A and B are shown apart, each in its own frame.
Chain A
């Protein structure tokens, strides 16, 4: 067996590929800088090297937060007790969760169990039984055959994808830009900017030959989408993520997934890779049992989006409302978001809005609840999303 270690440049190329899998923008220029840095610092001091490479490879706060885990995964795998392979597929621990979930389903009886037990949502199976079950969940027994666009999220045809993209663009156009207190120069403005006009006139000997006009500055709404990817949402998460992805591409939305933790997946959502679901699995590694909606909303408000939450912010929460946090905490978290001026819309996979105690207490803080189990639901919700 050949035990000769690979040259650093080759190992670095593998590392760069892993970083790209995690949504980081690492190209040849970054690899070259990383290699140059390792020559400067020496490759023995891994901690210092990790710090230097972090500055080169990361380009935003999301990259910055996930760096330590990705670095250890590749360079120091012996330190990891981990649950995720490089490919992003989960190890058998997930089976334990699956068994626990089945136990819960056995106890609850009314949980959306059939599909969750029969396979993952992103396998693209066209099994008719699955589709029927999904319709039963999404359509809540409407007792009529579904049209093509009403079909379950698991069966995606090109025309469905096209319809989703079209809907996303329509919604994006509907999101109304709000005027701010600021004015900006504009050729067709209706108010004279005296200061700028005087400034320009200096170039013409003091004659105002080039008047500067201004109009109120408008800002488009900032859309944040938070997708619940907990076990109870397994059969719906794939569809929700497709919607989130369409909105990320059409409306520049920031997308987060949460379970017991919160992670931003916006860069993955904006890529056109067909394996995006697998990458999201890798990002969401470590998510355990239970859904902490209130905790994650607070985390979102305080840490991830604090500086961007304002009256132009729209927060879409895609969740079934099952929360393991104390019931009153959800209202507090939503109140925090509302306190920043954000408008909250809650999408739920069932026909009826979530009726848990936590959601009932927080109902007044949510602008609208919308069922979302198919494209038709999204189309029905469209007029209200502005």
Chain B
């Protein structure tokens, strides 16, 4: 525990994450710890399926914090991300006031009770510890990034009718990006940065074992080796950790000991890993057998 901040140290955080079935390496645990200590957002970049979103869930779990998630998409605006006035209720209040001949001040209409809080405002207003996940920020428009700057640097949101709402407790903010668009320098500078790559063989085996302790070790090792080799293939959609877990789960139910010898049976389960028709077409039984055996390409003898 850090005496100055009251937060767990990087090592302690890593151990807690492990307890929540999220195996972070030392660098990732340090980055997450630093985000809490320096009260700065953490930008996580990496391919889809490497565990960026899962980190936010695990952090919320280990810190007993509320997880607030903002899923970004094209056209995301302030009304969907931060707040929106509840016009329906405001109109109803006006009509009720007219009917009862009461005087209604403008300040009454534009008060917090008529404000619908969206994820950003929910995180800012949270009384207790909170983890704010801004997922796939690269899908949002540049204009939305500009709005985020105020939230991420000052932890405040300005509502013209109400004034500036400041965070009661600084939330731990995680932004994720799959790199489909370059983020602005201004946004990057406000964040700490961590690039999450696909896990190494040993780490992925450990992740699968932690998530599926009932699965046979030999099966897990063979399956993860296969997935690691598969990631080196030219696929339209590279399988992530979630896909590995799905596949091992499926294999465990079908063949609890090891990868099946029968290619037909194995190919039936590959839908867990390969998510496009092209990838499925590319992975022929022969290529699948080569990957299981650890050969990268067709040998000279086989060519002849």
Using a CB–CB distance below 8 Å, which chain A residues touch chain B? 25, 27, 33, 36-37, 40-41, 47-48, 51-52, 54-56, 58-61, 63-65, 182, 184-185, 199, 202-203, 205, 217, 252, 298, 301-302, 306-308, 336, 339
Chain B contact residues: over half helix, strand or loop, or mixed? Answer: mixed
Further contacts, 12 of them, CB under 8 A, given A52-B30, A54-B27, A301-B234: A25-B188, A33-B40, A36-B38, A48-B10, A52-B34, A55-B34, A56-B34, A59-B188, A59-B193, A60-B193, A64-B195, A182-B75
CA distance A202 to B85 in the complex (A): 10
| Cα separation A104 to B198 with both chains bound (whole Å) | 41
Of A55, A205, A307, which one neighbours B42 at CB under 8 angstroms? A55
- On whether the beta carbons of B195 and A59 are closer than 8 Å, the reply is no
**Across the interface, do B195 and A61 meet the contact criterion of CB distance under 8 Å?**
yes
Complex CA distance for A307 and B87, rounded to whole angstroms: 40
B4 and A55 form a contact (CB under 8 A): no
| Interface pairs A-B: 5 shortest CB-CB | A59-B188, A64-B195, A202-B87, A55-B31, A51-B27
Bound CA–CA A33/B42 (angstroms): 14
Which residue in B37, B85, B91, B191 is a CB contact (below 8 Å) of A40? Answer: B37
Task: List residues of chain B with CB within 8 A of the CB of A202.
Answer: 87-88, 91
Nearest chain A CB to B72 CB, angstrom units? 14
The smallest beta-carbon distance between B53 and chain A, in angstroms, is 16
**Chain B residues whose C-beta falls within 8 Å of the C-beta of A56 in the assembled complex:** 34, 38, 192
Interface residues of B in 168-217 (CB under 8 A from A): 178-182, 185, 188-189, 191-195
Write 26 A-B pairs (CB below 8 A) sorted by A numbering.
A25-B185, A33-B40, A40-B4, A41-B10, A48-B10, A51-B31, A52-B10, A54-B193, A55-B34, A55-B192, A56-B192, A59-B43, A59-B188, A59-B189, A59-B191, A60-B45, A61-B45, A64-B195, A65-B195, A182-B74, A199-B79, A202-B88, A301-B234, A302-B234, A307-B178, A308-B179
Chain B residues, Cβ within 8 Å of A336: 234
Cβ of A156 to closest chain B Cβ, rounded Å:
28
A residues less than 8 Å from B42 (CB atoms): 55
Chain A residues with Cβ under 8 A from B193's Cβ? 54-55, 58-60, 63-64
Q: Classify chain B: how many residues form its interface, as a range.
A: 35 or more
With contact pairs A40-B37, A307-B180, A308-B179 given, residues A25 and B195 touching in the complex (Cβ less than 8 Å): no
Distance in angstroms from A273 CB to nearest chain B CB is 17
Which residues does chain A contribute within 8 Å of B79, judged by CB atoms?
199
How many whole Å from A54's CB to the nearest CB in chain B? 7
B192 cross-chain contacts in A, Cβ below 8 A: 55-56
**Contact indicator A308/B181 (Cβ below 8 Å):** yes
Check if A40 sits within 8 Å of B2, measured CB to CB: yes
Asked if B47 is at the interface (CB within 8 A of a chain A CB), the reply is yes
Compute how far the CA of A302 lies from the CA of B10 in the bound complex, rounded to whole angstroms: 32
Check B127 for interface membership: any CB of A closer than 8 A. no
Query: Chain B residues near A52 (CB, 8 Å)?
Result: 10, 30-31, 34
Interface residues of B in 206-264 (CB under 8 A from A): 234, 236
Assess whether B26 is interfacial by the CB under 8 Å rule: yes
Interface residue ranges, B against A (CB under 8 Å): 2, 4, 10, 26-27, 30-31, 34-35, 37-38, 40, 42-43, 45, 47, 74-75, 79, 85, 87-88, 91, 178-182, 185, 188-189, 191-195, 234, 236
Looking at the assembled complex, report how far the CB atom of B129 sits from the nearest CB atom of chain A, in whole angstroms: 20
Contacts of B10 in A (CB 8 A): 41, 48, 52
The chain B residue sitting closest to A54, CB to CB, is: B27
Instruction: With CB as the reference atom, state the residue of chain A lying closest to B45.
Output: A61
B185 and A307 within 8 A (CB):
no
| Residue pair A205, B91 in contact (C-beta under 8 Å) | yes
Q: Which residues of B contact A205 (CB under 8 A)?
A: 91
**Chain A residues positioned under 8 Å from B47 (CB to CB):** 306-307
Which of chain A's residues have a CB closer than 8 A to the CB of B45? 60-61
Q: Which one of B182, B189, B194, B234 lies within 8 Å of A55 (CB-CB)?
A: B194
Contacts of B195 in A (CB 8 A): 58, 61, 64-65
B30 touching A51, Cβ below 8 Å: yes
* Beta-carbon contact of A203 and B34 below 8 Å: no
Q: A41 to chain B: which residues have CB within 8 Å?
A: 10
Shortest distance from the beta carbon of B202 to any chain A beta carbon, whole Å: 18
Residues of B within 8 A of A217 (CB): 74
Chain A residue nearest in CB terms to B74: A182
Asked whether B31 lies within 8 Å of A307 as measured between CB atoms, the reply is no
Complexed CA–CA distance, A48 and B26 (Å): 8
In Å, the complex CA distance between A27 and B194 comes to 18
Q: Which residues of B contact A61 (CB under 8 A)?
A: 45, 179, 195
Please state if A55 and B30 are interface contacts (CB–CB under 8 Å): yes
Interface centre among B42, B88, B194 (most CB of A within 10 A): B194
Task: Give the CA-CA distance A351 to B259 in the complex, in Å.
Answer: 56
A56: shortest Cβ distance to chain B, in Å? 6
Asked if A25 contacts B189 (CB within 8 A), the reply is yes
Chain B residues whose CB sits within 8 angstroms of the CB of A252 once the complex forms: 182
In the assembled complex, the CB of B176 is this many whole angstroms from the nearest CB of chain A, namely 13
CA distance A40 to B1 in the complex (A): 11
Name B10's closest neighbour in chain A (CB-CB).
A48
Shortest distance between the CB of A337 and any CB in chain B (Å): 11
Instruction: Report the bound CA distance from A60 to B31 in whole Å.
Output: 14
User: In the assembled complex, which residues on chain A have CB atoms less than 8 Å from the CB atom of B191?
Assistant: 59
**CA of A25 to CA of B2 in the docked complex: distance in angstroms?**
29
Judge whether A308 and B34 touch: CB under 8 Å.
no
Closest residue of B by beta carbon distance from A332: B234
Q: Which residues of A contact B234 (CB under 8 A)?
A: 298, 301-302, 336
- List chain A residues, Cβ under 8 A from B26: 47-48, 51
Contacts of A64 in B (CB 8 A): 193-195
Nearest residue in B to A254 (C-beta to C-beta)?
B182
- How far, in whole Å, are A47 and B27 apart by their CA atoms in the complex? 9
For residue A27, which residues in chain B have a CB less than 8 angstroms away from its CB? 189
Q: Which of B180, B188, B189 is in CB contact (< 8 Å) with A308?
A: B180
Chain A nearest Cβ from B88, distance in angstroms:
7
Choice from B34, B74, B181 contacting A37 with Cβ under 8 Å: B34
B185 proximity list for chain A (CB < 8 A)? 25, 59
- Please give me the residue from chain A that is nearest to B94 by CB atom: A205
Q: Tell me which residues across on chain B come within 8 A of A65, comparing CB atoms.
A: 195
Cβ of B78 to closest chain A Cβ, rounded Å = 12
Q: Chain A residues near B85: list those with CB within 8 A.
A: 203
